[in-house]
Structure 1
């Protein structure tokens, strides 16, 4: 298949203001840690060695982080220390990305994506993510798009001045809205110890004293923790948005999360188009989409340094020259 025909198919499937699903693969290209890197960090922590967690450390050598947690007998105290260590690692990388944005706009592909999504009427974006990081929110702020994540506040603020022209721009910014639903929490969300008080504090270098980070760590416990607020309400709203969407764009999402994919799969089985871009399509992604009765899908993954491999409903499989599995290059054909 030639590039023009491939591009037309992408454009046709995503023509109706797609709902965006962001997985960890959407953040890794910007320097956020992989699960493998988090495992390495945990193996070097002293608290695991001091608390007789040898089986967990051995598991980290031969399986992924989530499986290692699930296959280990860990106390609630150790699990909380793991959550804090994960928060520290991801938060540091996230803040580094924000600093790079200030130095020279290092979120180009996300910024281009947001500008494309926000321009058509009704000037609304819906993004659902399992990520803790704030990269999508940073890019929204940069594009003067108001972020609604059920907490008030923003990161990248613009000075508008006092003229009529600036007042109009400010009103326009308020009309341009991105609803960002973070089903596993966010780096800047915290809950007060022994309380249900929820707060959002931007750009903390450390967890506020007397609070716990509101991120759901890897492992089977995440399914019990998300029955509480704010997760329960966010997941309910995510299901509603999946129902309302006309098409879907998944970026770096591996289809390994039971919180969001049941409703997504339900909708694409109703002939709503889906486009998935990822460095490598997971077996779960292939089984749930390619090896099913879904009729409108395009999955784009890396073949090698110069070619992209495509799975699709209209031509089964083919290779195309170029790195269209990366968001930067994908935006050139969409």
Structure 2
């Protein structure tokens, strides 16, 4: 396949009915830590009480052997340890996020997602973006692209989870055209975060959104392990998960960035939709085994990741179940994907 033909295929993919699914790979590309970094941080900072010390030592040994999620799936922490893991996870990612966002605010950095959004169709109903990430880089990138961000929370201080109010807050005009009123909305993204967000807190037993730092408040994020399945069916995670899965079911096609296909909250809908024939484009630093399997078996899946051949870095492209190597092109990186595919 000629390069110009590939670029035409990639451009055509960003068309009607597209939704965006974003995993931790995109945040890592912006400099945020990954799961290995988090695992090391937790092992160094969590201090177990005497009655939990043996259990925590066993968990630490499992983390070092199998990785964070596999360890917490094998041995569930106590409720207190789980709370400590969640708190430390929030602090760890928030500190790294703050540094990146400061650079954006000062004009020293453009997030990768911002220029990509310029080349995506924005439906009247909003562009669905589903992410398993806790950080708010997607929200920042969307606003930097001049779009609104609808997270289903409404209000600046202790914003409430109210999908209707959040939706109506983007209404910009109303015209009467007999026999009905036509509402005009700001172009926006619908950001669904089934694992929670760094700005979600629990206040008097009610989930709220607050953009600042609250050191004594419990962040609402779902950390890896057995308990994430239980927690995923509590508010506000259940509403975001339901809307994310509904968007997946309604989508015509997918653009999936930095996502490893290892989240059961989404996989019940996403992978079957892909196997059912919906056109899909995967961009990632390294394809997970699950992602590689989808691209190898299903002709509706295009996948691009990083590969070295004969000491030369380039892009591995899986298209029509065939493997192509493009030396010296970083199409797997969203930053270079935009410049190579859409800019002359």
Which residue of structure 2 lines up, in the alignment, with residue 199 of structure 1?
208
Structure 2: runs of 5 or more not aligned: 157-171, 174-183
Which residue of structure 2 lines up, in the alignment, with residue 166 of structure 1?
none
| TM-score (normalised: structure 1) | 0.86
**Per-residue CA shift, 1:14-73, capped at 9, x if unaligned?**
322520000000100111111000111112115148641211121222121111222235
Q: Is 2:21 aligned against 1:21?
A: yes
Which residue of structure 2 lines up, in the alignment, with residue 290 of structure 1?
295
Q: Is 2:234 aligned against 1:228?
A: yes
Q: Which of 75, 86, 90 in structure 1 is aligned with 2:89?
A: 86
Shift of 1:309: 0.5
Structure 1: runs of 5 or more not aligned: 155-169
Higher strand share: 2
Which residue of structure 2 lines up, in the alignment, with residue 110 of structure 1?
113
Give matches, 1:25-64, under 5 Å: 25-48=25-48, 51-52=52-53, 53-64=56-67
Which residue of structure 2 lines up, in the alignment, with residue 217 of structure 1?
223
| TM-score (normalised: structure 2) | 0.84
Give matches, 1:1-334, under 5 Å: 1-48=1-48, 51-52=52-53, 53-117=56-120, 122=124, 124-152=126-154, 175-192=186-203, 195=205, 197-204=206-213, 206-207=214-215, 209=216, 211-287=217-293, 289-292=294-297, 294-304=298-308, 306-313=313-320, 316-321=322-327, 322-332=329-339, 333-334=341-342
Contact 1:24–1:130 (CA under 8 A) maintained in structure 2: yes
Which residue of structure 1 lines up, in the alignment, with residue 160 of structure 2?
none
- Partner Cα distance (2:98, 2:153) in 1: 19
Aligned length: 311
Q: CA RMSD in A?
A: 2.3
- Partner Cα distance (1:110, 1:291) in 2: 27
**Per-residue CA shift, 1:266-304, capped at 9, x if unaligned?**
3223322000000000012123x1354x33110100003
Change (3 A) 1:220 1:291: farther
- Partner Cα distance (1:250, 1:86) in 2: 24
Q: Which of 1 and 2 has higher RCO (CA within 8 Å, sep 6+)?
A: 1
Shift of 1:106: 1.7
Shift of 1:234: 1.4
- Partner Cα distance (2:115, 2:155) in 1: 23
